[in-house]
Homo-oligomer: A and B are copies of this chain.
Amino acid sequence: MASDFRREITGYSNPTVKYLRGLRDKKNRRREGKFLVEGLRLLTDARETGRLPEMLVMATGRDPHPLLDELERAVIDGGGEVIETSADILSKITGKDNPQAVAGMFAEFDTSLDSLDRTAGSIWMVAQALRDPGNLGTMLRTCDAVGAGGLILVDDCADPFSVEAVRASMGAVFTQQIAQAGWGDFLVWLRAGPGQLVAASLRDAVPYRGAPYEAPCFLLVGNESRGLPEGYEDACDLRVTMPMRGRADSLNAAVAAAVLAYEVLDALES
């Protein structure tokens, strides 16, 4: 590797270190339009889907790996920057005690509704005011598994570009379409084309097994504590209910979305 393209950073107070650390905060990610991805596996997933980091940060003393060499070459060929630093400084950047040996900084994607191609999948997930980035990442992972089009984040949701969400998505943040919008704008967009809006609900609902699902099917899941606002449920084309045999009246949001999505997948394919 030609050393011209590499930079070594040894100080904690280096401005690049501070900048990268800052990307752990949503506010800074929003302002800069950048986010961090940790680990060779996720970075390789990204590369395979055509996404390269603008900056690659590698820890000195890391184990060599052919995929890491390929990644480094691709970043340099793509005009990106490669930085070597200590494992300690990398740990400061990612905020993890046992950091991966490599991290990358990516430009955030366009998450406007206009960027979506609704023909990309016959299942979509729609999360409303979902607060847990882990749930959000898990939903993206399930979206990938059922061959969905993507995930639409309605109202004030967790940030899909947070380290936790990216990690839980297992790379699906790079393969699934993602949009963020207010409820009103989402409805206008939805009704401008084909699409059935389905909510898991306890009132005026039919059993989720065997319900009349239609593609493209948009599965709406509400906030972890409060569920969906009543008006949002009313706007749905179909309300379905899932068996609750115990004391609780709800499932984890990512779990509910997955059970529904697999039912819809079976219904649409059979």
Partner-binding segment picked from A24-32, A229-237, A258-266: A258-266
Q: Please tell me which one of the listed residues B172, B209, B244, B255 contacts residue A248 in the complex, with CB atoms under 8 A apart.
A: B172
Q: What are the interface flags for A20-42 relative to B under an 8 Å C-beta threshold, 1 for contact and 0 otherwise?
A: 00000000000000000000000
Give the secondary structure class of A's interface. Answer: helix
Is A246 a contact of B168 with CB atoms below 8 Å? no
Is B245 a contact of A145 with CB atoms below 8 Å? yes
Is B138 a contact of A252 with CB atoms below 8 Å? yes
Chain B: CB-nearest residue to A256: B258
Is B255 a contact of A144 with CB atoms below 8 Å? no
- Residues on B with C-beta less than 8 A from A246 are 143-147, 172, 175
Most buried by B among A45, A246, A251, A254: A246
Within residues 210 to 257 of chain A, which ones have a CB less than 8 A from any CB in chain B? 242-248, 251-252, 254-255
- Residues on B with C-beta less than 8 A from A145 are 242-246, 248, 251
Chain B: CB-nearest residue to A262: B259
For residue A170, CB closer than 8 A to chain B, the reply is yes
Q: What are the interface flags for A39-58 relative to B under an 8 Å C-beta threshold, 1 for contact and 0 otherwise?
A: 00000010011000000000
- Residues on B with C-beta less than 8 A from A45 are 247
For residue A171, CB closer than 8 A to chain B, the reply is yes
Q: How many of these chains are in the complex?
A: 2
Chain B: CB-nearest residue to A265: B243
A254 CA / B243 CA spacing, docked (Å): 18
Contacts known (A242-B262, A254-B255, A262-B259); A248 close to B138, Cβ less than 8 A: no
- Residues on B with C-beta less than 8 A from A171 are 247-248
Q: What is the distance, in angstroms, from A247's C-beta to the closest C-beta of chain B?
A: 6
Contacts known (A258-B258, A259-B258, A266-B209); A144 close to B248, Cβ less than 8 A: yes
Chain B: CB-nearest residue to A242: B262
Is A144 a contact of B247 with CB atoms below 8 Å? yes
Q: What is the distance, in angstroms, from A46's C-beta to the closest C-beta of chain B?
A: 11
A113 CA / B244 CA spacing, docked (Å): 26
Q: What is the distance, in angstroms, from A257's C-beta to the closest C-beta of chain B?
A: 9
Residue contacts A-B, CB under 8 angstroms, 21 given = A48-B247, A134-B134, A138-B252, A138-B255, A141-B251, A142-B252, A144-B245, A144-B246, A145-B242, A145-B243, A145-B245, A145-B251, A146-B245, A147-B246, A171-B248, A175-B246, A175-B247, A243-B262, A255-B255, A258-B258, A259-B259
